[in-house]
Structure 1
Amino acid sequence: MPFVLPREPGLPPVTWASYAVTTLGVLPLVWRRRRPVLVLVAILLIGGVYKVVMDGPGQPLPYAGLMAFFTVALQCPGRVRAAVGAGSVVAVAASVKLEAGTARELSFTLFCAGAAYALGRLQYTRQAYTAAVEDRAAQLERANRIEAEQAVARERARIAREMHDILSHAVSIMIVQAEAGPVAVRRAPERAEAAFEAISETGRDAMAQLRTMLGVLREADGPAPREPQPGVASLPALLDRVRRGGPEIAYEATGRVQGLPPAVDTAVYRIVQEALTNVVKHARARRVSVRLHHGARELAITVADDGRGPAGSGSGGDSDSGGHGLIGIRERAAAHGGTAECGPRRDGSGFEVRAVLVTSPLEVGN
C-alpha cells in the first residue's frame, strides 16, 4: 500500500530492502509440510531481523508465522508441539515487548497463536477421521468383493453339480437302453420299441432341464423360464425311466409326508437321481429299493441295490468312476444340515446310499 497511497508525514520512507525481507519471511512456507519446526523458526528469525535491524514501514503481517504454527500443530507429535509452544510464547512476549509492550497486545497475539494451534489440531482430527472412514470403506469393499467372489464360486459349483446330475443320469440311462436295444430287437421287438421310447423320453427330459438351467444364465436373451426344479413329486417318473430296460425298482415313502422347502425338495430328487445313475453305470444290479422316511424335522433317503456297487467302493466309493457323484451326494446333504453315507450294505448283498436332510430346523429355546 505505501507504493499506492501516500504515507503520513513522519513515517519512515518505503524501501525495497524492507519489502525484500518481508517477502523472504513468506518463502519458507513452501517447505512447511516437510520441516514444520525449522520453517517456524526461520520465519520467527526473519521477523526478528526485520524488527531489530530494518526500520521498515509499519508492522509486518503475522500470517506466515500463524501458518507455520498451524502446520506444527497439524503434523508434529505431542512433545515437539509442547516444546514449540513454550518457545513461541517466549518469542511472542519478546516481540510484544519490543513493540507496544501492553497486556492487550500480548493477549491478542497469544490468542491468534492459540487459534492457529487449535485449528491445526482440529484439522488433524478431521484428517484422521477421514482416513479411518476411507480405510473402513476400503475394508468393506474388499470384504464385499471377496464375498461376491465366494458367491460366484458357490454358484458355479452348484451349477456344475446340477449339470453333472442331469447329464450323467440321462447319458447313463440312454447308454443302458441303447445297449439293450439290439438284443431286444432279436428276442422281443416290443421291448425294443419301449427301449427306444425310453431313450427319446430321457433325452427330451434332459434337454428340458438343461434348457431351464441355461435360460437362467442367459439373461440377455430374454426372461428366463420359470419351470420349477424337479422334486419328490417327480420321483415316480424318474423311477419309470430307469425301470425301462434296467433293474426292478421298488419305491416306498413312510412317515408323515409333508411339504418340503423347495431347496430340500430338489436335493432329494437329485440325490435319488445320482444314486440310481451309479446303480445303472456301475452296480449291474437287478433289484433296487428307494425308500423315503419323513420324520418330524428330517427326511431319510435310502437307495439300496443287489449289485456290486461303484468300482473301489469298499472305502466309500470315491473313485474316478463313481466318486464325483457320491461326493455330490454328500455335498447336497451337508448343504441342508444333514449327512450322507455310501458303501456296501450291512449284509454284504449290494451297495447302499443313505442320506439324511434337515427339513425343519430346531427353533430357539426348544
Structure 2
Amino acid sequence: MDLGLTLLVQLAVSMPFVLPREPTLPPATWGSYAVTTLSVLPLVWRRRRPVAVLAVIMLVGAFYRLAMDGPGQPLPYAGLIAFYTVALVCTARVRMAVGVLSVLTVSAATGLETGAARELSFTLFCAGAAYALGRLQYTRQAYTAAVEDRAAQLERANRIEAEQAVARERARIAREMHDILSHAVSIMIVQAEAGPVAVRRAPERAEAAFEAISETGREAMVQLRAMLGLLREDGPAPREPQPGVAALPRLLDRVRRGGQQIVYEETGAVRALAPAVDTAVYRIVQEALTNVVKHAAAGRVSVRLHHTARDVTVTVADDGRGRPRAGLGSDGGGDGVGGHGLTGIRERAAAHGGTVTTGPGPDGRGFCLSAVLVTSRQEVGS
C-alpha cells in the first residue's frame, strides 16, 4: 500500500515537469526532478518512521525552494501525507511536538519566501486538514478493532457455551442410559437366577419370572430406542414421553417379582409435576431400587413421595445389609461410594435445586436414601 501511494504521489509531482510550460518560466531540469523525487521516496517508510520521514521531506522541500529553480507544486503532497501519518500512528506527545515545529517551520519558510498571509493560511489549513483526517482514521481503526475484538470474544463465548451444552447433554444421556440399563439388567439377572429354583419348587413363579424378564427387556429397549434416537442424524427422534411418577407402580411391580416386599405411598399436597421433575423422580426411584436389588439383600423396601408447596421428597429405605461397600458398581452396573448410581442421583437432584442424603434406615437397619427436588420455579430462581 505504501509503495503504491508513493508511486501515485510521484505521478502527481511529475506533472509540472511533463506538461508544457510558459516560455517565461525557467526550464524543468533533470536535477530539479531528481530532488522532487527524493522528497517523495521516503513515503515508502512512512509507517515505520513517520517523524523521520516528515523531517526528511520538509528538509528536501526547503532545499528545493532555496537552491533549485524548478517548477513549483500546487500542493506539498508528500508533506501532507507524512503529516497525516504522524497524526495516525504517533502518540499525543509526539504529535504535539511535531505540530508545533511544523507550524514554526512553515511560518518561517513562508516569511522568507513571500511573506504572504494568504499563502501561510492556505498551507496551515491543508496541514490541519491532513492532521484531522489522520486522527479520524485512527478513531475509525480503533472502533473497527474494538468491534472485531468484541465479535471474537462473543464467538469464543458462544463456542464455550456450545461445548458446555454438549457436555451437559452427554452427561444427561449417560445418566439416562446408565439408569435404564442398570435397572433392566439387574432385574433380569435376579429373575433369571430365581427361575431355575422356581421351576423345581413353584412352576407358577417361574412363569412369572420369565414374564418379568421379557417385560423388563422390552421396556428397556423402548427407552433405549428413544434415547438413541436423540443421537441419530438421519431422522427425527421419537417423541415418546419419558416415564414419570405415573409409571412408578409398574416399576415397583417388576421389582416385586424378584421377591422383595415393596410398600409405596404418596403423601402431602399431591399434584402433577413438571415433566423434567417428573422424570427425575422416576429415575431416582429406579436407581435406588436397582441398588437394593443388586446389593442390599433386603426383604422389605419402602418408597415414599412427599409433596409440599415448594418441593417433593423421594425416600427409598430398605432393611438390607446397610450402606453399599466402596467400589460396588465401579464397573458401571450399580452403586456404592465409588459407583455412578448415587452420583447420578445427586446430579439429578442438583439439577432441580435439591439435595440428597443417605444413611441407615429409620430403625438403624438397612439403607435409606432421601432426595429433595425443588418444584417451585420461584424458589429455584431465588
Inter-CA distance 357–274: structure 2 relative to 1 (3 Å threshold): same
| Contact 2:17-2:33 at 8 Å conserved across structures | no
* Corresponding position of 1:251: 264
The SS at the match of 1:149 is helix
Separation in 1, partners of 2:381, 2:234? 48
Say which of 269, 273, 278 aligns to 2:282.
269
Say which of 205, 217, 237 aligns to 1:224.
237
The SS at the match of 2:378 is coil
| 1:361 has 2:377 as partner | yes
| 1:116 has 2:130 as partner | yes
Separation in 2, partners of 1:34, 1:298? 68
Off by >4 Å, runs of 4+ in structure 1: 1-5, 363-366
The SS at the match of 1:221 is coil
* Corresponding position of 1:136: 150
Inter-CA distance 343–365: structure 2 relative to 1 (3 Å threshold): closer
The SS at the match of 1:217 is coil
What code does the residue aligned with 1:267 have?
A: A
Question: How many residues get paired?
Answer: 362
1:57 to partner: Cα distance: 2.0
Percent sequence identity over aligned pairs: 80
Separation in 2, partners of 1:149, 1:2? 65
The SS at the match of 2:358 is strand
1:133 to partner: Cα distance: 1.1
- 1:263-321: CA deviation from partner (whole Å, max 9, x where unpaired): 000000000000000000000111111111111111111111110135327xxx98745
The SS at the match of 1:26 is helix
TM-score by length of 1: 0.95
Separation in 1, partners of 2:329, 2:237? 36
| Contact 2:16-2:72 at 8 Å conserved across structures | no
- Aligned-pair RMSD on alpha carbons? 1.9
Separation in 2, partners of 1:213, 1:159? 7
Separation in 2, partners of 1:296, 1:73? 68
Separation in 2, partners of 1:268, 1:6? 97
Deviates more, 1:226-235 or 1:2-11: 2-11
* Corresponding position of 1:343: 359
* Corresponding position of 1:199: 213
1:97 to partner: Cα distance: 2.2
| Contact 2:16-2:73 at 8 Å conserved across structures | no
TM-score by length of 2: 0.91
| Contact 2:88-2:134 at 8 Å conserved across structures | yes
Name structure 2 gaps, 5 residues minimum. 1-14
Separation in 2, partners of 1:165, 1:210? 10
Name structure 1 gaps, 5 residues minimum. none
* Corresponding position of 1:326: 342
